[in-house]
């Protein structure tokens, strides 16, 4: 059996919005090749071991397990990140936050201190560090297992010396003196009732998705902690759920007097990113 034939067989058993792409990526993983290589070598014969391995992984895909968890990695901002069931799967919408962060730091080269709150697999902190070589990032997460994934990703991309990973609830409470220029955050923001009706529920960590009754519980807590700890960041960049634009804008004005607050839309034209300029 060759690659083309196995893809056809799998497609006859599995249909989803991205079934063909998923199967191509699964085979690329099994053969340790790129998807582009797979598409240009469809007539390549497969060994019995490769067929068995692909079939085992395909069985997991058919049961609904997310492909990134099956293959153990996913691309974000042009970089390949380890992911597992302890971290959220990277979404392309979050790349806008990273782009804004990098743009701010490049336009203000004297600003080098960043906090990434709720780092998960470390995609935001690491992507920024890869593009701003002298940046110093504090990356926090409440999940020790997520922190371990993020640390491995930092080592993989050679930025471990630029990032301090801290296991804590939003912000460290160790009495440190803060010098912060930029705060980035992609906290759990899906309202609890909404989350329970989504396909992602039960497949990715609820801890990384559930934002409470209206989805903004953690942002309320974060803004309050920043005030208590006297953290005066020049700029905040916070990702949120598409229906929360007005609510999170009001929340920002309530917590930061005289702040300039902007909301940016993602590529689908949906409200996605909050910018607070102090």
Domains of the chain in start order, with CATH, are: 3-71 (1.10.8.10), 74-277 (3.40.50.150)
| Residue 177 confidence (pLDDT) above 90 | no
Closest CA to 172 of 127, 225, 122, 124: 225
Within the chain, strands assigned E span 73-76, 79-82, 113-117, 136-141, 163-167, 182-185, 235-239, 260-265, 271-277
State residue 175's pLDDT score.
Answer: 77
Mean model confidence pLDDT for the chain: 96
* pLDDT per position as a tens digit, 116-132: 999 999 999 999 999 99
Q: What is the pLDDT of residue 232?
A: 80
Give residue 174's pLDDT: 84
| Residue corresponding to tokens 């034939």 | 5
Query: What is the pLDDT, as a whole number, of residue 113?
Result: 97
* Residue 66, token pair as written in the block: 């997310």
Of 234, 258, 132, the C-alpha closest to 178 is 234
Once rounded to an integer, what is the mean pLDDT over residues 192-196?
95
Percent of the chain with pLDDT over 90: 93
Q: What average pLDDT does range 45-67 have in this prediction?
A: 97
Q: Measured in whole angstroms, how far is the alpha carbon of residue 154 from the centre of its chain?
A: 14
pLDDT of residue 178: 80
Whole-structure pTM value: 0.95
Is it the case that residue 179 has pLDDT exceeding 90? no
């Amino acid at each position: 059996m060759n690659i083309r034939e196995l893809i056809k067989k799998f497609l006859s058993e599995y249909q989803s919005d991205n079934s063909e792409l998923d199967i191509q990526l699964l085979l690329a993983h099994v053969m340790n090749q790129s998807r582009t290589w797979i598409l240009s070598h469809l007539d390549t014969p497969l060994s019995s071991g490769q067929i068995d391995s692909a079939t085992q992984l395909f069985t997991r895909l058919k049961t609904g397990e997310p492909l990134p968890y099956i293959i153990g990695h996913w691309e974000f901002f042009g970089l390949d990140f380890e992911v597992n069931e302890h971290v959220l799967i990277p979404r392309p919408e979050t790349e806008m936050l990273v782009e804004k962060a990098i743009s701010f730091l490049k336009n203000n080269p004297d600003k080098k201190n960043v906090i990434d709150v709720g780092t998960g697999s470390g995609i935001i902190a690491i992507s920024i560090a890869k593009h701003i070589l002298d940046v110093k990032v504090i990356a926090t997460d409440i999940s020790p297992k997520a922190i371990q994934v993020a640390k491995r990703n930092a080592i993989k991309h050679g930025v471990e010396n630029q990032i301090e990973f801290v296991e804590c609830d939003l912000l460290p409470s160790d009495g440190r003196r803060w010098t912060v220029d930029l705060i980035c955050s992609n906290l759990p923001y899906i309202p609890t009732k909404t989350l329970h009706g989504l396909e992602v529920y039960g497949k990715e960590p609820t801890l990384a998705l559930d934002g409470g009754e209206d989805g903004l519980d953690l942002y309320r807590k974060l803004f309050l902690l920043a005030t208590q700890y006297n953290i005066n960041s020049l700029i905040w960049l916070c990702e949120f759920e598409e229906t929360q634009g007005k609510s999170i804008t009001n929340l920002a004005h309530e917590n930061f007097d005289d702040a300039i607050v902007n909301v940016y839309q993602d590529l689908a034209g949906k409200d996605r990113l909050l910018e607070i300029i102090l």
